[in-house]
Chains A and B, each alone.
Chain A
Amino acid sequence: MSTRSLRDRMLDPSDRALALLLLSPAIVLILAIVAWPVAKLLANSVMDVRLSQGVPVRFVGLENYAAALADGMFWRAVRNTMIIVVVTVPGALVVGLALALLANMPFRSRGPIRLALLLPWAMPLAFVGLIFAWFFHSEYGIVNDVIRRLGYTPQIWFNSPALTLAAICIATIWKTSSFMALILLAGLQTIPNSLYEAAEVDGASKWTQFREITLPLLVPSMLVALIFRTLTAIQSFDIPFSMPGPGEETQTLAMYIQQQAVDYLDLGYGSAVAVFMFLLSMATTWVYLRYIRGDER
């Protein structure tokens, strides 16, 4: 705080005007592509805007919010989204960490392994969803083929909400682990080798080294990766959309918003639900940021 006010005092008025001038394109851009849509979203969320029905636009206060809170479909979407967050975020962290440790091992063919690591990350989400939808198809899918060969009863995956969510989580973890691994790999490489050498001299086992050196020093990278992963998990759309379960039983919050606002052109209600998702994302980020700040202190 004090450093900033010091710097302010050092700028004379003409410098400040120049700074403002130079910053203005960025400010205008941010206002246009961030602030304006958010303001529009908030404004729509308290209006009745139904474009396909010729109903006049009118102010309805918090009616849309109340309707969402009373709507079973909304809560089902929240529940599905939370399941995806709770399963795939730690899931991707564990798998990603394993992949990062593997890629960090001192053997020859690290190049191809790192390349293979990048592949799922580079693939479009909808692509992954469609591929996994085929894997889990009850008649033509490879998963049921394996189950059949092992002598178990094949499942009609997309007939059951629980099995569909499981399939969605598997696809999501597969897709997002590489991003986790990438960030964690960068973190791993900043850990000085001398620490491990010293631990080796002291006779620490590999497991102790991992627990006492690798994990604690990796926490900052993990937090960064977790923020990104959690936010994208809250916004899950592509994969669940391409792997639909029975009816809308596995609809996520983002899919629900898309349905209401884009398919039904009920912009008021869709905006209100979007505001809920926005709040959820903000709250999550806030928790992480507090944790990081607490850590630094």
Chain B
Amino acid sequence: MRSRLVAALLALLCAWPSLAQDRANLRVFVGGQQRPDIMRELFREYEAANPGVKVKLEVGGASSDLHQKYLNMVLTARDTSIDAFLIDIIRPAQFAAAGWAEPLNAYLGNDLETALGGYLPAYRAANTINGKVIALPALADSLFLYYRKDLLEKYGEEPPKTWPELARIAKKIQAGERNPDLQGLSFQGKAVEGAVCTFLLPYWSQGGEIIRDGRFAFDRAKAEAGLDMWLGMVRDGVAKRNAAEVSTDDTRKEFQAGKVIFGVVWGYGWNHFQKGADTKVSGNVGVTTLPAMPGGEPVSCMGGWNWAVSAFSKQKEEAVKLIRWLSTPYVSKQLAIRGSFHPAFTSVYEDPEVLKAVPWFQDALPVVATARARPITPVYKQVSDALRINTNVVMAGVKTPAQALDEIEQRIARAVRR
């Protein structure tokens, strides 16, 4: 009897090291739109390669705003339960200023250059705030101009290079098709984050900037020309009358339903258009760089998500190891093949396996390369609201562009006060 007890104790002692080997129990937060199912598969893979590390997934809201609202709450409370999270490309500056993300420089050490060298330069820049590496790119994205290949071919037109050209082609096709439900152009006029890009596309195209060298630099003439361009689209019937009600997914749905000739949407549109269950445009979709203002540059709005480690985590060392693995070309490739997510590495766009799974990435790279980061500032939310809300009221006809620009200036000035 006693010997059996001793044996049991011995067995327990032998088992002890393996119990203690649970080096880390990491908790990682991602949003509902970032394919938690694929993330979970990747975490299993990491666990298999790193015995003793457990990675748990916590899934949040399906929009960037909801995602951030949750993190705001957790991080202002200095909660230690989440070790790493995905943050939207527009947020690193806020996380840096609030001290919510652990700067990664010390962990990367001498690897810093090699670790950051492979990313598309815009992603590297957007994640480095005052020399501190706040996050590592996970998924890239940008706005694309989707167009109906069949209709453009039918009317002998090439994809437009400028917005007036787009309006001309759209009007020609609309007149020829005689379908009152066919919209020439669909873009985001509702006061959602997409409307920030709506404001910025023509503004950037003319060389405008919101913040230059850390200071607020607003060019009224360029902003007004941009808003006038969008208003013209509505006035001429190229875009629909209630453009102020159109949100990102409305554009996607209406293009998919065959009601739109040109649509401005993020990368996720492609899969819906080509493979969506109820798509009416499969095989007839083209994708290209967004048009420029006359005499301006073609630019796109950069999107994407990045891995950051919580400043309040108690397992930072292990969390950094995990996100470094998650931000490798290998994982990027898996995300591209399994979820059609755009990579933040130039090399992955050229990978034959990736191109076999998502052939259109060949057309996507030039667009992603023209993508610019939205203003990098700790008060991004205020800047975003000022831009999206005023774009929306102009599209709704409640304010003139001049009145809206006054309000944009006032709001941003108040937000950046010291």
Contact = CB atoms under 8 A, between A and B. Distances in A.
A249 B393 contact: yes
Contacts of B396: 156, 158-160, 246-247
B191 interface: yes
Contact of B245 (A52, A156, A247): A156
Contact of A138 (B98, B245, B382): B245
A185 to B, nearest CB: 40
A247 B397 contact: no
A263 interface: yes
B241 A156 contact: yes
B142 interface: no
A249 B191 CA distance: 11
B327 interface: no
A248 interface: yes
Interface residues of A, number: 26
B50 interface: no
Contact of A52 (B97, B244, B385, B399): B97
Contact of A51 (B69, B98, B414): B98
A262 interface: yes
A52 B378 contact: yes
Q: Is the interface of B mostly helix, strand, loop or mixed?
A: helix
Interface in B225-250: 241-242, 244-245
B274 interface: no
B143 interface: no
B242 A159 contact: yes
A271 to B, nearest CB: 15
A249 B407 CA distance: 12
A264 B414 CA distance: 12
A263 B241 contact: no
Interface in A203-262: 244, 246-249, 259, 262
B378 A262 contact: no
B34 interface: no
A272 to B, nearest CB: 14
A263 B245 CA distance: 22
A263 B72 CA distance: 8
Contact of B398 (A52, A139, A247): A247
B6 to A, nearest CB: 54
Contacts of B310: none
Contact of B191 (A137, A247, A259, A262): A247
Nearest to B240: A139
Contacts of B99: 54
B94 interface: yes
B379 interface: yes
A138 B242 contact: yes
B389 A248 contact: yes
A263 B393 contact: no
B14 to A, nearest CB: 50
A139 B242 contact: yes
Contacts of B398: 159-161, 246-247, 249
Contacts of A53: 97-98, 378-379
Nearest to B94: A52
B392 A246 contact: yes
Contacts of B244: 156, 158-159, 246
B128 interface: no
A54 B382 contact: no
A138 B385 CA distance: 24
B76 A265 contact: yes
Interface in A58-75: 67, 71-72
Interface in B373-418: 378-379, 381-382, 385, 389-390, 392-393, 396-399, 407, 410, 414-415, 418
B242 A244 contact: no
A53 B100 CA distance: 11
Given A52-B94, A52-B98, A247-B390, A264 B381 contact: yes
Nearest to A158: B245
A195 B397 CA distance: 58
Given A161-B398, A247-B392, A249-B393, A156 B242 contact: yes
Contacts of B410: 72
A259 B386 CA distance: 12
Contacts of A160: 396, 398
Nearest to B391: A247
Nearest to A162: B398
A176 B108 CA distance: 59
Interface string A153-173: 000101111000000000000
A160 B381 CA distance: 25
Contacts of B245: 137-139, 156, 158-159
A161 B393 CA distance: 10
B98 A54 contact: yes
A6 interface: no
Interface string A124-161: 00000000000001110000000000000000101111
A193 B191 CA distance: 56
A14 B31 CA distance: 61
A34 interface: no
Contacts of B393: 246-247, 249
Nearest to B384: A263
A22 interface: no
Interface in A100-143: 137-139
A137 B378 CA distance: 35
A265 B418 CA distance: 15
Nearest to A251: B389
30 contacts: A51-B76, A52-B97, A52-B98, A52-B378, A52-B381, A54-B378, A55-B418, A71-B414, A137-B245, A138-B242, A139-B242, A156-B241, A156-B244, A158-B244, A159-B242, A159-B397, A161-B398, A246-B392, A246-B393, A246-B398, A247-B393, A248-B191, A248-B389, A249-B393, A249-B398, A262-B72, A263-B381, A263-B385, A264-B379, A265-B98
10 smallest CB-CB distances across A and B, nearest first, come from A246-B396, A247-B393, A247-B389, A159-B396, A54-B97, A246-B398, A53-B378, A247-B392, A246-B393, A52-B98
